Amino acid sequence: MSKIFSWNANSIRIRLGELERIVKEHNPDIICIQEIKAKEEDFPFADINTLGFEHIALYGMPGYNGVAILAKRPLSDIKRYDWAGKADARHISAVTDDGIEIHNIYVPAGGDIPDVTQNPAFARKLKFIEELTDFFSRNCQQNQNKRLLVCGDFNVAPLENDVWNHKQMLKIISHTPAETERLTKWYQTSGLVDAIRHFYPESEKVFSWWSYRNPNWQTNNKGRRLDHIWVSKPLSRELKKAFVLKDCRALEKPSDHVPVGIEI
């Protein structure tokens, strides 16, 4: 049995205390971190090793973005990927000692204006997702028996009940049709299973992000499900549970994202 979590920490160094609490309370075997905001020489290897994660796959950069896979057991075949014309530390993969190929991805947010002509950041976000779709569809078609896990902050809430109000959010980046249609195509053409929705029906509202600008986030619950874990069909047969750790949003120094996880 293994627990695998995905969490946008919004600065790994600022969230070390929160990470320690998550590890002590939930005992994950692997944590995929996005938005580490640290280059390799600034990454807190020693602190994370102390928490039991002696194996770390890292793709960092100064100040922004960055992804890491923290594991208690050995990782191999570590690869770093760049998409949509930039090397900005948003995708890393590694293979666990029990043969699961894990991809940890941080999709660009896309700015504020959902128009590709007015907003180059939004155009890049769509291109980023399109390139991932091509990559994973080829990857999965070539090896349909692969135990594959794709996770991260995808910055898209694809389903109606992945946002607090579907109609009001249709023109807001993260839930526009241009994004949701592309994200859905990504996992469907790749044959991947949405592990969170495997346990939480689509009729149920499920969120993993609440804005820092919303001081009453607990009472009005205006959230979005931006954080995802998808698994290949062979790995989906091993799913036991899924987690959305909403209580982590109320920690002393919270990220605006909470960890999501699965047990296999």
Does residue 115 contact residue 44 with C-beta atoms inside 8 Å? no
The mean pLDDT of 149-159, rounded to a whole number, is 98
pLDDT at 142 over 80: no
| Overall average pLDDT of the 146-173 stretch | 97
Domains of the chain from N-terminus onward = 3-263 (3.60.10.10)
Taking 80 as the threshold, does the pLDDT of residue 262 lie above it? yes
pLDDT at 141 over 80: no
Rounded mean pLDDT, 54-62: 96
Helix, strand, coil percent content, the chain, rounded in steps of 5: 30, 30, 40
Return d(Cα 154, Cα 184) in angstroms, integer. 12
Across the chain, mean pLDDT equals: 96
User: Which range, of 52-61, 112-121, 142-151, 188-197, averages the lowest pLDDT?
Assistant: 142-151
Q: What is the pLDDT of residue 118?
A: 96
Strands (E), 2-85: 3-8, 30-34, 55-59, 67-71, 75-83
pTM of the model: 0.97
Per-residue confidence (pLDDT) for residue 140, from 0 to 100: 78
Task: Encode pLDDT of 189-244 as tens digits.
Answer: 999 999 999 999 999 999 999 999 888 898 999 999 999 999 999 999 999 999 99
